[in-house]
Amino acid sequence: MSQGAKQLYIQTTSLIAGFMVWVLISSLMPYIQADIKLSPTQISWATAVPVILGSLLRVPIGYWTNRFGARTIFTISFIILLLPIGILSIANSLLMLILGGFMLGIGGAVFSIGVTSLPKYYAKDKHGFINGIYGVGNIGTAITSFAAPVLANTFGWRTTVQIFLIVVLLFALLNFFFGDKTERKVNNSLSDQINAVYKNQKLWFISLFYFITFGSFVAFTIYLPSFLVNHFDLEKVDAGLRTAGFIALATVFRPIGGWLGDKLNPFLILVGVFSGLTFAGFLLSFTPSLPIYSFGCLLVAICAGTGNGTIFKLVPLYFSKQAGIVNGIVSAMGGLGGFFPPIILTILFNWTGHYAIGFMVLSEFSLASTVLVVWLYYQEKLGISAKIVQHAIDGITVTDKNGIIQSVNPAFTRITGYTMVEVIGKTPSVLQSGEHDNAFYKMMWDSLLTAGYWEGFIWNKRKNQEIYREWLTITAIRDDSGDTKNYVAMFHEVDAEKTS
């Protein structure tokens, strides 16, 4: 087994264990609230609190993973997790629940480890799929959502929590003995990495998208067990099973989203993702019957899972040199996206008596993201066109309809010696060599005005007064009404002796 495959297995199973612990409180809340009296608002805070540290800690954990390696950070994280699990098992008040829950967030923060470490072992064209496979670790939340209520019915919720001490200890040992001790390290300072990326608008667009997709996944994961019991009067085990189904579906679609991101344009996939979330949020806002509500939740699972996988194809694509810190920032925003919705939904329900506004917010945010993705898609196309111009071997000159130079590319400067600053606002006559008479240029303009096109050999003069021969093609760029808006000239120098 290759080192990459070995680490993919170890880190993915470690993420499963971390996520199993992360959602302990929300999965057991129907049992906890029977033992510790809590109001609906207190329940929302207790279930949402693990998301706080699970989000904020992802930024430094991504950085530390690059600096110290996945083996070290996973091992330390699991050892620390023993403490909050112990606190939770003896909790008898809201304060103890919040304290233990806050530290349980480490179980969610470990997500940054794999998305930072695993791409080091694989080629860039596989990063989307590999991060998608790693993201299958989300299934840990499904395992706990299903198994914790079953165990609590048999052993009680406190003993169930204590069972997770064994799980965490086993994975600390697994990483310590079998983690990669020779993983490539990156020792750049945290401030340098943040300064290198925080002004890049793509970072914040990607963060917004993950805020919605992963935030939706986390929010529904921690919100569904209590909601299904309290709103639809389902049995606790039934609610846990349905929540586990939601998580499993989202998890299955995560590697599919990563694979699609490797094969297709990620922005086109995200258009479908956010369009689906827009419809799902709209549907759920009407507080429908259980079957329709279930359909809406499953649609959220499919779209959120696909989006989660696709988005982590974009991170190494744009930030290969700062992957650790960017993975941390993006995944932190996703975690925070799961913190606010349960609390907001509870507050809105207390004010209005229904959840319509909360779900409509999801719909509107998704609709806005759809528009942003479409805009980024066309910006990307324009960016590719600009790069083609900048890296073209031929010199390129763009003028307005009056022949005033608007822009030139680096090849223009290499051939003529004139920089862009020196020619902007002037006409191409700055290159005239005096070798051609007025009739030559009149013929050129007549062709451009009638046919919109001219090509041929021409003698021009460089900035250093050297005369050279070039092959020149000029094309008129017209709008939909047929009016000329610009002229684009492309040229390359030719050997006069070979063409004479």
Of 247, 238, 245, give the one whose Cα is nearest residue 218.
247
Average pLDDT estimate for 178-202: 81
Residue 453 to residue 495: CA distance in whole angstroms: 24
Q: What are the tokens at 422? A: 């020196």
Of 335, 443, 298, give the one whose Cα is nearest residue 107.
335
Q: What are the tokens at 373? A: 């993705």
Residue 275 to residue 222: CA distance in whole angstroms: 24
pLDDT in tens, 2-18: 888 999 999 999 999 99
Of 107, 83, 106, give the one whose Cα is nearest residue 21.
107
Burial class (CB in 10 A: 0-12, 13-18, 19+), 359: buried
Top pLDDT among 237 and 175 is at 175
Q: Report the interhelical angle of 3-22 vs 127-134 (nearest 10°).
A: 40
Q: What is the CA radius of gyration of the chain?
A: 30
Q: What's the order of all strands across the beta sheet hosting 405-408?
A: 405-408, 395-400, 484-493, 467-478, 453-461
Average pLDDT, the chain: 87
pLDDT in tens, 105-152: 999 899 889 988 998 898 877 887 888 899 888 888 888 988 898 999
- The third-level CATH classification (topology) of the domain covering 393-499 is Beta-Lactamase (3.30.450)
Top pLDDT among 379 and 213 is at 213
Label each residue of the chain as H, E or C: CCHHHHHHHHHHHHHHHHHHHHCHHHHHHHHHHHHCCCCHHHHHHHHHHHHHHHHHCHHHHHHHHHHHCHHHHHHHHHHHHHHHHHHHHCCCCHHHHHHHHHHHCHHHHCHHHHHHHHHHHCCHHHHHHHHHHHHHHHHHHHHHHHHHHHHHHHHCHHHHHHHHHHHHHHHHHHHHHHCCCCCCCCCCCHHHHHHHHCCCHHHHHHHHHHHHHHHHHHHHHHHHHHHHHHHHCCCHHHHHHHHHHHHHHHHHHHHHHHHHHHHCCHHHHHHHHHHHHHHHHHHHCCCCCHHHHHHHHHHHHHHHHHHHHHHHHHHHHHCHHHHHHHHHHHHHHHHHHHHHHHHHHHHHHHHHCCCHHHHHHHHHHHHHHHHHHHHHHHHHHHHHHHHHHHHCCCEEEEEECCCCEEEECHHHHHHHCCCHHHHCCCCHHHHECCCCCHHHHHHHHHHHHHHCEEEEEEEEECCCCCEEEEEEEEEEEECCCCCEEEEEEEEEECCHHHHC
- Which pLDDT band, with edges at 50, 70 and 90, does 241 fall under? confident
- Which pLDDT band, with edges at 50, 70 and 90, does 333 fall under? confident
User: Are the C-beta atoms of 142 and 248 separated by less than 8 Å?
Assistant: yes
Domain ranges in the chain are: 3-388, 393-499
Intra-chain end-to-end CA distance of the chain, in Å = 64
pLDDT in tens, 242-273: 888 888 898 889 889 988 888 888 899 999 99
pLDDT over 50 (residue 212)? yes
Question: CATH code for 3-388?
Answer: 1.20.1250.20
Average pLDDT estimate for 492-499: 69
Average pLDDT estimate for 454-476: 93
Q: Please report the pLDDT score of residue 499 as a whole number.
A: 47
pLDDT over 60 (residue 500)? no
pLDDT in tens, 362-409: 888 899 999 999 998 888 777 776 777 788 889 999 999 888 999 999
Residue 458 to residue 493: CA distance in whole angstroms: 10
Q: CA torsion sign, 343 to 347 to 353 to 355? A: negative
Q: What are the tokens at 328? A: 């941390």
- Which pLDDT band, with edges at 50, 70 and 90, does 299 fall under? very high
Buried-exposed string 196-218: b where 16+ CB fall within 10 A, e elsewhere: ebeeeebbbbbbbbbbbbbbbbb
Burial class (CB in 10 A: 0-12, 13-18, 19+), 258: buried
pLDDT over 60 (residue 285)? yes
Average pLDDT estimate for 22-35: 89
User: Are the C-beta atoms of 454 and 444 separated by less than 8 Å?
Assistant: yes
Q: Please report the pLDDT score of residue 287 as a whole number.
A: 67
pLDDT over 80 (residue 154)? yes
Q: Please report the pLDDT score of residue 342 as a whole number.
A: 67
- Which pLDDT band, with edges at 50, 70 and 90, does 48 fall under? confident
Distances (CA, A) of 476 to 381, 394, 397: 22, 18, 12
- Which pLDDT band, with edges at 50, 70 and 90, does 222 fall under? confident
